[in-house]
Amino acid sequence: MEKHIYNEQTGISYTLHGDYYLPDLTLSDEEKGVEIGVWGQRHLRYIKQHRKVLYLNLLTSDKLNGYLADIDKQADEMFFRLVKQMAEREGVTEQLKADNQMEWVAWMNNIRSRVTEMINADLICT
């Protein structure tokens, strides 16, 4: 059997792996240059485990990295906006930071943890 074959109708080449021919899929140059942050990686892990059809559709249509970069950007903007809003609402100010650093750190860690849970529930795991 040949190691590589090319299908004229679909324009896809295949490589023999064991007993099966698998398509030679690669990312386009546009998709290769996209940076995916922590939120995008979390969403990728979620869709690989729980939404396999969506994952495969995005992967085979060469839109996965763009989609993940968009999710990452949305989540990052949402994170900073919510942390700022919650800190203002709860009175966690620069004055508190100057007066009592440990209390300020405790408040900010609590706020960041709650915001992370909200983003995971609303954006990452959907």
- Angle, in degrees to the nearest 10, between helices 101-119 and 64-89: 140
Question: For position 31, what pLDDT does the model report?
Answer: 59
Dihedral of alpha carbons 80, 85, 86, 90, sign = positive
Please give the average per-residue pLDDT across 99-104, as a whole number. Answer: 96
Residue 28, pLDDT > 70, answer: no
Residue 1, pLDDT > 80, answer: no
CA distance 89 to 81: 12
Residue 37, pLDDT > 90, answer: yes
**For the segment 41-88, what is each residue's pLDDT rounded down to a tens digit?**
999 999 999 999 999 999 888 899 999 999 999 999 999 999 999 999
Domain ranges of the chain: 1-26, 34-124
What's the predicted TM-score (pTM) here? 0.75
